[in-house]
Amino acid sequence: MTLDPRTKMVIVICLSTLALIYNSAGELLPLLLVTLLLLLLFRIDISSVWVYLKRFLQLMLVVFIIQCIFTRGGEVLLSLGSTALVSSQGLLAGASLVLRIIVIISAALIFTTFSSRDFILGLVQWKIPYELAFMVTIAMRFLPLFRDEFVNVVTAIQLRGVELKQVSWGRKIDLFRSLLFPVVFGALLKAQQLAVAMESRGFRAYPRRTYLRRLDFIWIDYAVMLIFITITLMLIISY
């Protein structure tokens, strides 16, 4: 399906909004199925969803356990003596939160179907200032760079003979605390290089910018946006 990047942005906003509003697994599961169906329509490999989700498995596991333990109500499923540890309500709350994270991550994969230039151009044609649109794009690109910088530092530590899996938690916390400075320094160095490159190319040299091409809506873009916005508003009002 060929759609304008702005139409895809609207779809992601609608899906993410419903994912944040819905609280039960029975509501989030159909939303996840709709999201996966859209990924297929946009010719996105479903296996790529798992590739992105693997990075958040530990976070989802911790969130699930916390919800199971601290959410009370329903039938007690696991107890320690007279203390209830896991209840049916806590299990449902944990499952709902994990499904919400999966829906949001899956919907965000729609952004991979168009380039960052189209993302900036779409925001600018929505009358959003270019500086703000550029800032959002740079933030989205800097997060993977920050992660890669941290992975490189951890790899350097392991090459020096430090096996992190065998280090105690207290020592591990101290190690990660000492790794924070080189990671932040590397990120700041990349930001400084980016700033120099932007200044060299005359960023903000003129009050108005020109663009090589322009994004134009066609009838299917209007139809898709109208359908998604209408359904989203109806579901929010009837919730």
State the first-to-last Cα distance of the chain, in angstroms, to the nearest integer.
30
Distance, CA of 188 to CA of 176 (rounded, Å): 18
| Digit-coded pLDDT (tens) for 160-184 | 666 666 666 666 677 777 777 777 7
pLDDT greater than 90 at residue 11: yes
Of 49-63, 74-88, 215-229, highest mean pLDDT: 215-229
Backbone angles phi, psi at 186, to 5 degrees: -65, -40
Q: Is the pLDDT at 229 greater than 90, yes or no?
A: yes
Predicted local confidence at residue 205, as pLDDT: 74
> Is residue 91's pLDDT more than 70?
yes
CB 71 within 8 A of CB 90: yes
3-state secondary structure of 131: helix
pLDDT at 17 over 90: yes
Domains of the chain, by residue range, sit at: 1-114+215-239, 130-208
What is the band of 226 on the pLDDT scale with cuts at 50, 70, 90? very high
- Pairing between strand 83-87 and 76-80? antiparallel
Nearest to 142 by CA among 187, 196, 109: 187
List, for residues 185-198, the tens digit of each pLDDT value: 777 888 888 888 88
| Alpha-carbon dihedral angle through residues 152, 153, 155, 161, given to the nearest 10 degrees | 160
Q: Rounded to 5 degrees, what are φ and ψ at 80? A: -120, 95
**pLDDT range class, residue 227, cuts 50, 70, 90:** very high
Q: What is the pLDDT of residue 232?
A: 93
Which pTM was predicted? 0.75
Residue 6 pLDDT > 80: yes
Q: Quick one: pLDDT at residue 162?
A: 65
More confident residue, 206 or 57: 57
pLDDT interval class at 225 (50, 70, 90): very high
Mean pLDDT of the chain: 81
Q: Which residue has the tokens 């609207």?
A: 10
